């Protein structure tokens, strides 16, 4: 069996990507199926996989402040949205015979396990895919911050941020045709160039705890596998 470069990873998937760019639908099940196939490929070579999924396809706390729903209430709604996405991804992984555990930072025991760090690590050691739902459990945070935090807590070697662009660019490649991709960057460089990779809380957590981040295109088949096998894919941000 080929040896992966990383033994334990934290995969961050955006909620927004789940609707496939179609705001009329919440979840595009073809995308979920694609994710499951990509994740299965790395599970088969023995990579221990933790997943944090966002909720932006369903609800974002900050977007409703004007509507009279206060921020904390909105953020709780956003965190519950991540559990819905977590349940969807759990089902798609189970369809491919992977053993999974969905752990929520907000207790809902009829639906999923409560988050207990030691138990999460044990699941990972046993080869179960752990999906961390409900963000950090606290308002005013993001699922990027959750990804950094859960990576540190579960001793993942790297945060893999799956997006729809293939890395970090000098400018937005969807708007500026002269934009150039970085293969590698230091956290300090990314900060001084004001590159928007993750929010500052998430970024600082990863920098201070020496957890590298790789931004890559999750929609390109084979990328996730190649990445964990040590190929240069996307942009690596490290100290
Ligand atoms: N959220 C929160 N605390 C957390 C994580 C998430 O309050 O620790 C809420 C917040 O309202 C956020 C929403 O959940 O807008 C969905 O998460 P996010 O926007 O990070 O999802 P993504 O952009 O990855 O789809």
**pLDDT, tens digit, 9 for 90 and up, residues 20-50:** 888 888 999 999 999 999 999 999 999 999 9
Cβ proximity of 103 and 120 under 8 Å: yes
Kindly report, residue by residue over 102-138, the tens digit of the pLDDT. Answer: 999 999 999 999 999 999 999 999 999 999 999 999 9
Kindly report, residue by residue over 158-196, the tens digit of the pLDDT. Answer: 999 999 899 999 998 888 999 999 999 999 999 999 998
Measured from the Cα of 16, ligand 1's closest atom is 25
ipTM computed for the complex: 0.95
**Coarse DSSP helix, strand, coil percentages of the chain, rounded to the nearest 5 percent:** 40, 20, 40
**What is the Å distance from ligand 1's center to 84 Cα?**
13
Q: What is the pLDDT of residue 2?
A: 84
Question: Which CATH number among 3.30.2320.50, 3.40.1160.10, 3.40.50.10490, 3.30.565.10 corresponds to the domain 8-238?
Answer: 3.40.1160.10
Q: What is the pLDDT of residue 65?
A: 75
**Pocket mutation for ligand 1, best pick of 60, 115, 136, 163 (most atoms within 8 Å of C-beta):** 60
Measured CA to CA, the distance from residue 199 to residue 67 in angstroms comes to 24
**Pocket mutation for ligand 1, best pick of 142, 161, 215 (most atoms within 8 Å of C-beta):** 142
Most confident stretch, 19-23, 66-70, 222-226: 222-226
Backbone angles phi and psi of 49, in degrees to 5: -120, 120
**What is the Å distance from ligand 1's center to 81 Cα?**
8
Q: Which of 193, 191, 192 lies closest to 203, judged by CA?
A: 191
**What is the Å distance from ligand 1's center to 177 Cα?**
30
pLDDT for residue 148 is more than 80: yes
């Amino acid at each position: 069996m080929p040896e992966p470069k990383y033994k334990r990873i934290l995969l961050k998937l955006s909620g927004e990507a789940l609707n496939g760019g179609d705001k009329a639908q919440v979840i595009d099940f073809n995308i979920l199926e694609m994710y499951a196939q990509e994740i299965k490929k790395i599970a088969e070579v023995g990579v221990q996989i933790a997943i944090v999924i966002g909720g932006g396809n369903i609800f974002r706390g900050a977007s409703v402040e004007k509507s009279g729903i206060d921020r904390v209430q909105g953020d709780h709604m956003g965190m519950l949205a991540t559990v819905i996405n977590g349940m969807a991804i759990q089902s798609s992984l189970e369809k491919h015979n992977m053993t999974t555990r969905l752990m929520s930072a907000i207790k809902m025991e009829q639906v999923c396990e409560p988050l207990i760090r030691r138990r999460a690590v044990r699941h990972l050691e046993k080869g179960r895919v752990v999906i961390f739902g409900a963000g950090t459990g606290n308002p005013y945070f993001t699922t990027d911050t959750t990804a950094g935090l859960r990576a540190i807590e579960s001793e993942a070697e790297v945060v893999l941020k799956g997006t729809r662009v293939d890395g970090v660019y000098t400018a937005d490649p969807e708007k500026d045709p002269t934009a150039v991709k970085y293969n590698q960057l230091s956290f300090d460089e990314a900060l001084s160039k004001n590159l928007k990779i993750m929010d500052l809380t998430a970024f600082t957590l990863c920098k201070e705890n020496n957890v590298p981040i790789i931004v890559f295109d999750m929609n390109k088949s084979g990328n996730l596998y190649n990445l964990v096998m040590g190929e240069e894919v996307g942009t690596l941000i490290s100290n």
